[in-house]
C-alpha cells in the first residue's frame, strides 16, 4: 500500500510540473534563458579545477590584455597580476553559492511560514503576519547595509546569505499565505479533513502541489535578488572583499584600481557582462514559467 501511495503522489506531482518541463520544447523565452545561463554555469564550475596560483598576486605581469596563448591569459590579467579568467570563474561560483544558499533559506522560510499562517488561521495567522509585516515595512537595503557594517569582520559566504535572506523572506510568506487561504476554501480541503487525513497529509498532498510552480518562480527571483544585493553591498565596500564574487570584481576593478579610466576594460567587463547575462537569463526563465502556470493558478484567485 505504501508503494501505491508513493506512486500516486509521484503521478500527481509530475502532472502539476509537466507544464514546466514541457517549456523546454515550447517556450522560446525558456530556451533562450537556458542557452544564456548554461555557459555561465559551466564557466563557474571550471573554478573547481582552477590552479593553486590563481589567488597569488603578481604571479603574472600586471595589466596584460587578453591573449590566446594560454587559458590563464585568455581574459588578460589584473592590475595585481592575477588571471582575469580564473578570477571570473571563481567569482561566478561564489556568487552562485550565495544566491543558492539565500534561495534555500529565504524561499523555504517564506513558504513554510506562509503555509502555516494560511492553513491554521486565527491567532497563529495574525502572529506570523504581524512578524512578517514588521519585516516588510523595514526598508531592505538600509537594513542589509547596517547588518553588513556590524558584521563586516565576520562575514563569510553562508553568513552573507543569511543576511540577505533576512530581507527577502517576508514577501514570499505573504504571497504563499494568500494562495493557501484561497485553497483552504476549496471543497476538497473539508472533504479531505472529513475523510480523516491528518493536517500534514492535507498540506503535502492537497496544497503543496499547487504551490510548486509559484515556488519555482519565487526561487528564481530570489537568486536574482541575492546576486543583486551582493553586487550592491560590494560596490559600497560591505561585502567579502577578500573573496572573488561578481560584486567584488566590479568593486576592485572600477573603484579600487580605476580599470576603466586606465583603459583596462578586460578586467571590469567580464563581471558586468556576466551579471547582465545572469539577470536576463533568469528573468526570461521566470517569466516563461509564470506564463505557463498562470492558467493553472487563475482558478485559485
pLDDT at position 97 is 93
Check: CB of residue 100 under 8 Å from CB of residue 208.
Answer: no
Which residue would you say has higher pLDDT here, 158 or 208? Answer: 158
Lowest mean pLDDT among 105-114, 227-236, 283-292: 283-292
pTM over cut 0.85: no
The candidate with the shortest Cα–Cα distance to 249, out of 265, 272, 227, is: 272
Contacts of 49 (CB under 8 A, 6+ apart): none
If one looks up domain 23-298 in CATH, what number appears? 1.10.3720.10
pLDDT at position 301 is 42
User: b vs e for 192-205, b when ≥16 Cβ sit within 10 Å of the residue's Cβ?
Assistant: beeeeeeeeebbeb
pLDDT at position 43 is 92
Alpha helix (H) ranges present in 195-243? 199-202, 208-235
Which residue would you say has higher pLDDT here, 85 or 52? Answer: 85
pLDDT class of 179 with cuts at 50, 70, 90: confident
The per-residue pLDDT for range 216-264, each reduced to its tens digit, is 888 888 999 999 999 999 988 888 888 899 999 999 988 888 888 888 8
The per-residue pLDDT for range 118-146, each reduced to its tens digit, is 888 788 888 998 988 888 888 888 888 89
Check: CB of residue 56 under 8 Å from CB of residue 82.
Answer: yes
pLDDT at position 85 is 93
The per-residue pLDDT for range 1-52, each reduced to its tens digit, is 555 455 555 555 454 555 555 555 567 888 888 999 999 999 999 988 888 8
**How many residues can be counted in the chain?**
301
* Residue indicated by cell numbers 503522489: 9
Q: Could you tell me the CA-to-CA distances from 220 to 53, 92, 137, 145, 281 in Å, in that order?
A: 34, 16, 23, 23, 10
pLDDT class of 100 with cuts at 50, 70, 90: very high
Q: How far apart are CA 35 and CA 39, in angstroms?
A: 7
The per-residue pLDDT for range 190-209, each reduced to its tens digit, is 776 767 667 677 777 777 77
Cell (9 digits) for 94: 561564489
pLDDT at position 17 is 53
* Residue indicated by cell numbers 580564473: 86
Q: How far apart are CA 300 and CA 156, in angstroms?
A: 41
The per-residue pLDDT for range 261-279, each reduced to its tens digit, is 888 898 889 999 999 999 9
Amino acid at each position: 500500500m505504501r508503494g501505491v501511495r508513493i506512486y500516486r503522489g509521484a503521478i500527481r506531482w509530475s502532472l502539476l510540473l509537466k507544464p514546466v518541463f514541457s517549456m523546454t520544447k515550447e517556450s522560446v523565452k525558456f530556451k533562450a534563458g537556458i542557452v544564456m545561463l548554461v555557459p555561465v554555469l559551466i564557466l563557474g564550475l571550471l573554478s573547481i579545477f582552477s590552479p593553486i596560483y590563481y589567488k597569488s598576486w603578481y604571479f603574472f605581469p600586471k595589466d596584460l590584455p587578453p591573449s590566446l596563448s594560454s587559458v590563464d591569459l585568455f581574459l588578460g590579467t589584473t592590475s595585481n597580476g592575477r588571471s582575469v579568467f580564473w578570477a571570473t570563474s571563481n567569482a561566478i561560483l561564489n556568487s552562485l553559492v550565495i544566491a543558492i544558499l539565500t534561495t534555500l533559506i529565504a524561499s523555504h522560510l517564506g513558504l513554510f511560514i506562509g503555509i502555516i499562517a494560511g492553513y491554521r488561521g486565527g491567532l497563529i495567522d495574525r502572529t506570523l503576519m504581524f512578524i512578517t509585516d514588521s519585516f516588510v515595512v523595514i526598508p531592505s537595503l538600509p537594513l542589509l547595509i547596517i547588518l553588513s557594517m556590524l558584521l563586516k569582520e565576520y562575514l563569510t559566504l553562508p553568513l552573507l546569505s543569511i543576511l540577505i535572506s533576512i530581507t527577502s523572506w517576508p514577501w514570499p510568506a505573504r504571497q504563499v499565505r494568500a494562495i493557501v487561504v484561497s485553497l483552504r476554501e476549496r471543497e476538497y480541503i473539508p472533504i479531505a479533513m472529513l475523510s480523516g487525513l491528518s493536517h500534514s497529509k492535507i498540506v503535502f498532498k492537497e496544497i503543496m502541489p499547487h504551490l510548486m510552480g509559484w515556488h519555482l518562480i519565487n526561487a528564481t527571483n530570489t537568486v536574482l535578488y541575492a546576486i543583486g544585493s551582493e553586487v550592491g553591498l560590494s560596490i559600497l565596500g560591505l561585502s567579502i572583499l577578500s573573496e572573488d564574487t561578481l560584486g567584488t570584481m566590479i568593486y576592485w576593478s572600477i573603484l579600487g584600481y580605476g580599470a576603466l579610466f586606465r583603459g583596462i576594460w578586460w578586467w571590469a567587463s567580464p563581471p558586468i557582462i556576466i551579471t547582465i547575462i545572469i539577470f536576463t537569463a533568469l528573468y526570461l526563465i521566470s517569466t516563461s514559467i509564470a506564463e505557463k502556470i498562470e492558467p493553472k493558478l487563475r482558478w485559485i484567485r
